Structure formats: structure tokens, C-alpha cells
Structure 1
């Protein structure tokens, strides 16, 4: 499914907010001709608005009758209307009823207060008012947005059960298959150890010893040469390095400010996280493969930038240290991630990074978005103690547009259902034994 930026005036390919392109189908003929918007529900979810708002807006703009609550998800506009024309009208809806008037961010909620329609922005905190003279404003006041209630949860639960029943046999195979992958990977690692001096990449003790040894080198000022200043973490050396940076980068290099502490902040321009991601990619290019990039040096680089304790560092590395071979790469990178992950927030960032990785790599490698692959990835993360049962279970209960568009987030969580079911059954078995 083709994706476009929610704000189509933004041409940045890496713009965070995406949605599906509208797709239409013309049915009937003569006076009975009508347009079915086949993916309106998905588009509306990406905008965090009810589908009825979007279809009604089209109706007002086109002067056509519409249905606002179709039981079969067939959103209909009377008359023949092509998708590009509706996409243009959708831009108007987004500008008037979705985007924050201050920061132009689509992360807004509709709030009805004292007969006014407010857009509550989760990005900048501003509340801006919608023009009540617009035709759709009257419709919104009469049809206030529903909050997630029992019906929504029941529908999700019913869909989840149906998916689990369809994959009942596959669940067992996935669980067994994941274990098989572990064995084969461990076997290949053992072979690799004989041919290299990297040691067991998944060994905490080995990784910790290396980190400790390198830290001693970093902390010893008498052993730092002029061409090795990058690992000197003294205050004087850090300031010297910052002074050598271009002015525009120096101003954007935020290491300990509010941006780092804000879980939802993505940051603008060049940041320490961008620098880390770019460095990893450059090292991978030099080495010929991401798998040849030394995890110790990655940790040292993060420490040099002062972000080795930040959850966003985990988010960046999940997208840069892994590629389409993520299933076999997780055991090899477990050591460095265990050093970086120290809280639930870090675990959530790891899962968010995996979501973005799957969304990006899944375009060329669609097999990554299959249930089998998603289950194996989660098994690896869980088996290597990179995510806890509590965090991954909570993550799996609700789709989020924080890291990817909402439709992709839902697809990933649907693929994760067999693993989540396995966790639930394992917990029930433990309770029975007690």
C-alpha cells in the first residue's frame, strides 16, 4: 500500500507522520453511480479522527450524500469521484481539523468545550480553536468523538481471537521454530568464534570485560594521543571538540537538555543521536557490512557523545545495528544492548526501533512483516532478556503511531499475537503449578 506524508507539502521522505493514499472504486451507473472509498478507515485512523468526520467532510465539499456509519466498512459518496480529487479535499480536512495551528503537527485530539472545538496538541501543548463557521464543525458538535470504550476493546478482542484460531497450528510451529533458530544461530556463532577474536557476542561477561578495559584506556589521559582525542571524555576535551564543530551544528548538539528527557521528542536538525546513527552507517560502509561493526566501538561512540544512558540511543541503534537479518543479529548484539537497556523506557524504545526497522526494511523484504518473522524476532528479544514480559505484553495490547503509522503498528501487533498468546499461556501454566 502506497504511503504519503500526512502533510503533503512536506517533501521529506523521512517525515514521521504517514498515511495510506486514498483508494476509490466506482460502482453502479446512471443516477445510481457511487464512489466507495475502500481504505477510508485506515486513513482516518492515521489521522486519529473518526471515519465519519472524513466522509462527511467530503460530502459537504462535494455537495453529495454520504453514509457516516457503514456496518461493512463501505464508505460511500454519491456520484463518481476519483481518488486524486478526494486526496486534495483530504488536505483541506487535515489543515482545518487535524493540524495544530501553532506547530503544524498532526498529533492533536479533538476537545469539545463550552460549544467550541479545540485541537489539543500533544507535541507543543497548544490548544487551538477550529472555525465554527465550517459546515463540518456543526456535525462534530453533534457527534462528539468517542473515547475508547468497552465496544472498542470487545472488537479488538474478537479480532484477536479470530486471528489466534486461524493460526492455532501455526503457533506451535512458530514457538518450536524459534527455538530451532536459536540452536542454529548458536551453532554458527560457535563456528564464527573459531575464525575471529570477537568472542561470544551474546556473553554479558565478555562484553563487560571489554567495556571495562576500554574505559580504562579512555580515562587514562597520559595514553591519549592527539589523533585519539575522540575517546577523551574530560570536560576540557569535550569543550574543545564542540568548539571545532560548525556553529550551526554546535547549537543543535543537545546532550542533556529537555529534548533528551522528553520521551516524545524527535528533535530537529542535527543532534547527538543523528551523529551516532550516521557514524554507525559510515562504519558499516567502511567495514563492508553492519555485522562487522564492533559493538565496543559503538558503545564508546555513544559514551563520547554523552548519550549512552539515553533511551533514544537504543531507538537509534535498533534501526542501525540491525537489517533484514535481524533474527540472527539479535543474539550477536545482545551484549551491547544489555549495557544500554536499564529501564522499561529503554525496552519500549527498543520495541519502537524494531517497529521502525520492520516498516523500513519490510518494503524491500516483505517477509519481515509476516507473523513467522515477527514472532521469531520477539522470541529472540525475550530469550536474550532485552525485553521483559510485562513491557512486551503491554506493548502488544494497543497499536501506537508514536514510531510508525497506525496501520503498520497494527499489522506488526497482529503478527505478534501468537507470541503474546504464548506468553499468556506460559503465565497461566505457571499459576496452575503454584
Structure 2
């Protein structure tokens, strides 16, 4: 993927914890004179995040700009004739997303394009997997002619309800509903003895660094103590009230989960070395929002608290996670947060995945069975499928270390 960062599919949504994300569109100008053209190196990756054929947004650009387009799908090369600014194409991509991806009812990108035939006429419909609504696209747009001539390919996703008699072809939307498990063989899993030996050696160092007591926080969370200890952190955020269901969703920009994540990020660097007081404040904030026991809170905290220095931060923040990770579901959410951290926010951390898992394991935040099951089953629950594969591939040395350690104990 060409470098350019990751952005929300809906770029009008500034929430970092918005689930649906895509690579930032990049461009490259080639040729000169009448032969000048704009190549989009990562169009395939962008389209994959939107779950649309890459030819659709490329052709959309051509329709909007009045320019010829060409695509070489085998080599993932997508071209718009003429010299076009990257920002201009990103704005046009927003238009494509609005017209051909987002549900018109709930504005969720988890849609599937289907073609409905009624007599001699054909309509293109966005079938939303999030809210269930079916909304039509503007059939006056020139792209619709191209889509009808090049219909999307139906992707089988395991057990699903069959259609209701419509003659339809469809392609999955930009959501993260699980689409079945992928075995290690399908992942292209390979053993890595050298990395495994490194993990074993580093495990000894991690033992000393990550041994933390599971503290009783009852004294810290008493009303009087908390009032004094977190006054500077709470500031004007005290007394925030929530409307609606306190369960919420991490997709909703106004959900308690988004509020918690934003609050943590805003206050993360202001505790002046008093980490314990800060962690108490974080827990109290989650309590205030009514989500301190929810597994989605663990997902958000993993994204908001950890940075590229995650290996140093895990021992510091472990007491908070020991307090909040209380079930297998919470452990899976912690792993999901780690997937987003290294797969989307800090891709350079991928080689450190075994060390990160070891650090979590050493402070009893992850159980062997949960990690093993997670490591051998690719899922789209928290990130896209390709990212999920990369993270699990990187985790192989730790999984192998677990397996060998278990064999040793059996002997």
C-alpha cells in the first residue's frame, strides 16, 4: 500500500474511534504534454476498504472530471487522464462514498450494491447491513451506466438469508461483520524459529518489568479521595449526562465510548508522572459514563491509552486493565484494540506484536486459550480482513512459544 495514512471513510466524522476506516487516497503524476496522466497507486486498497470494485471510484473520477480512465486490475493500476491534484480526487472520493457507499438512511458504509430488474428497467440499490434499509442511488449519474454494464460480483459470506426473489447481483459493504474464519494455512502461516528464540529470551526480561500486584482500588475510588485526586483531570467534564442507551455503540460519534476515548486522549499527557492517580481518574470517568464493565470500553482504552511506546506503557497501565478485563469477551476486546493499534495507527509496530502479547500475558490480561483461538482465526470484527491477517501472522512466534511451553509442562 502506498503510504498516506489512514482516515475515516466518512471524513466529516473526526472521531478517532470511528470503526470504518480506509487508506488516504494517494496520486502520482506520470508523463507530460498530451500524455500526462494521474496514477492512483493505492486505489485497490481504498476500494477494498469500501468493498467496492476499484474500477467504480476510478470511473466516477472520470465522469466528474470529464476525463478518460483506464484500469489494469491484474497489476492494480488505475489511471485518470490529465494532471489532477490529490486533494481534488479525495473530495471526489467523498462524493462517490456519499452517492454509492453510505446508506442514505443511517449513513453507515456497511452496504451492498444490488441491481434490481423490473421488466426492462434496472435500478441500483444500496442494501444496508447495519439498519436493514434499502435506498436507491441517483440513476441519472453517468456511473450507473458503467455499474449496470459491469455489475458487482456476489461475495459468498457463509450462512446468510437468501434473497426475496429479486434478480440481484451484490458486493459486500464496508462493515466489519465476521465473514468466517480463515485457517493458518490460508493465512500463509510459516514458522519462524529465530523469532521464537528471541521471544523466549525476552520473556525473562518481561517477567521483571511486568509483574504487578492486582490492587484493591476501593480506597482510591471513594468519593472524597477521588474528588481530591482527580480534580485537575476532571475539570469541566464533571457531571456529563448521557441521553439514550448507556450501552451505546463505538460507531456513534456521541456514544459514551467515544466520549471516554476523547477524554483519555485529552488528559493522557497531563498526569505529570502520577500514573496511578490518572488511572483512577480514567476508571471513574468510565463509571460516570456507565460503561466501566463493558467490553467495548477495553477496546477504546487500548486505542486511547497506548502509543508507539506500548511496550513501556503496558506495565504502567496494567492495573487499569486488570480492573476492567474480567471475561473472555473483555480479553478479545483487548486483542481487538491491539489489532487497531498496530494494524491501523502504528503499522511499524507489527514486528513487536509477539512482545506486546507477551507483555499482556505476563500481567495475566490474556489467557492461553483465548490468545490461541484468536491467533488461528482471522476476523473482520475490529479491522479489515487483510489487516487481521497481518497482525496474526506477526503473532506466530508468540503462539509457537505458548504451544512449546504447554508441551514442556505436559512432559
Which TM-score applies when normalising by structure 2? 0.70
Residue 35 of structure 1 aligns with which residue?
Answer: 38
For residue 38 of structure 1, report the CA deviation from its aligned partner.
0.8
Alpha-carbon distance between aligned partners in 2 of 1:304 and 1:92, rounded to the nearest angstrom = 39
Conservation of the 8 A alpha-carbon contact between 2:110 and 2:129? yes
Alpha-carbon distance between aligned partners in 1 of 2:373 and 2:332, rounded to the nearest angstrom = 10
Residue 152 of structure 2 aligns with which residue?
Answer: 144
Conservation of the 8 A alpha-carbon contact between 2:15 and 2:258? no
Conservation of the 8 A alpha-carbon contact between 2:342 and 2:350? no
For residue 12 of structure 1, report the CA deviation from its aligned partner.
3.0
Matched, 1:66 2:90: no
Residue 291 of structure 2 aligns with which residue?
Answer: 307
**Structure 1: any 5+ residue segments left out of the alignment?**
187-199, 219-223, 232-243, 363-367
Give aligned pairs, total: 371
Alpha-carbon distance between aligned partners in 1 of 2:124 and 2:272, rounded to the nearest angstrom = 55
Matched, 1:185 2:192: no
Residue 329 of structure 2 aligns with which residue?
Answer: 345
Q: What does residue range 158-307 of structure 1 map to in structure 2 within 5 Å?
A: 160-161=187-188, 164=190, 168=192, 170-186=194-210, 201=212, 203-204=213-214, 207=215, 210-211=216-217, 214=219, 249-250=240-241, 252-253=242-243, 257=245, 260=247, 264-269=249-254, 271=256, 274=259, 278=263, 282=267, 285=270, 287-289=271-273, 291-293=275-277, 295=279, 298-299=282-283, 302-303=286-287, 305-307=289-291
CA 124–336 in structure 1, closer or farther in 2 if over 3 Å, else same: same
Name the SS for the 1:35 alignment partner: strand
For residue 97 of structure 1, report the CA deviation from its aligned partner.
0.4
For residue 424 of structure 1, report the CA deviation from its aligned partner.
5.7
Residue 420 of structure 1 aligns with which residue?
Answer: 396
- Structure possessing the higher relative contact order (Cα contacts under 8 Å, 6 or more residues apart): 2
RMSD, matched Cα: 4.4
Matched, 1:378 2:357: yes
Residue 240 of structure 1 aligns with which residue?
Answer: none
Conservation of the 8 A alpha-carbon contact between 1:327 and 1:376? yes
Matched, 1:96 2:99: yes
Name the SS for the 1:19 alignment partner: strand
Matched, 1:369 2:351: no
- For each residue in 1:290-313, what CA deviation from the matched residue of structure 2 results, as whole angstroms up to 9, or x when unmatched? 634365565455445543211122
Alpha-carbon distance between aligned partners in 1 of 2:290 and 2:94, rounded to the nearest angstrom = 41
Conservation of the 8 A alpha-carbon contact between 2:17 and 2:250? no
Name the SS for the 2:98 alignment partner: helix
Residue 162 of structure 2 aligns with which residue?
Answer: none
1:354 equivalent among 338, 342, 346: 338
1:134 equivalent among 122, 130, 141: 141
Alpha-carbon distance between aligned partners in 2 of 1:143 and 1:312, rounded to the nearest angstrom = 37
For residue 75 of structure 1, report the CA deviation from its aligned partner.
1.9
Conservation of the 8 A alpha-carbon contact between 1:280 and 1:293? no
- For each residue in 1:64-92, what CA deviation from the matched residue of structure 2 results, as whole angstroms up to 9, or x when unmatched? 1412x521222234454443443333232
Alpha-carbon distance between aligned partners in 2 of 1:403 and 1:178, rounded to the nearest angstrom = 28
Name the SS for the 2:22 alignment partner: strand
Residue 90 of structure 2 aligns with which residue?
Answer: 87
For residue 7 of structure 1, report the CA deviation from its aligned partner.
3.6
Q: Which of 1 and 2 has greater Rg?
A: 1
Alpha-carbon distance between aligned partners in 1 of 2:99 and 2:184, rounded to the nearest angstrom = 34
Conservation of the 8 A alpha-carbon contact between 1:315 and 1:350? yes
CA 103–369 in structure 1, closer or farther in 2 if over 3 Å, else same: same
- For each residue in 1:97-130, what CA deviation from the matched residue of structure 2 results, as whole angstroms up to 9, or x when unmatched? 0122123333323234445432233444432112
Conservation of the 8 A alpha-carbon contact between 1:5 and 1:15? no
CA 84–272 in structure 1, closer or farther in 2 if over 3 Å, else same: closer
- For each residue in 1:204-249, what CA deviation from the matched residue of structure 2 results, as whole angstroms up to 9, or x when unmatched? 4xx2xx24x549x95xxxxx7xx56979xxxxxxxxxxxx977xx4
- For each residue in 1:151-174, what CA deviation from the matched residue of structure 2 results, as whole angstroms up to 9, or x when unmatched? x99x9978953x857xx3652354
Higher normalized helix content (fraction of residues):
1
Residue 76 of structure 1 aligns with which residue?
Answer: 79
CA 313–25 in structure 1, closer or farther in 2 if over 3 Å, else same: closer
Which TM-score applies when normalising by structure 1? 0.67
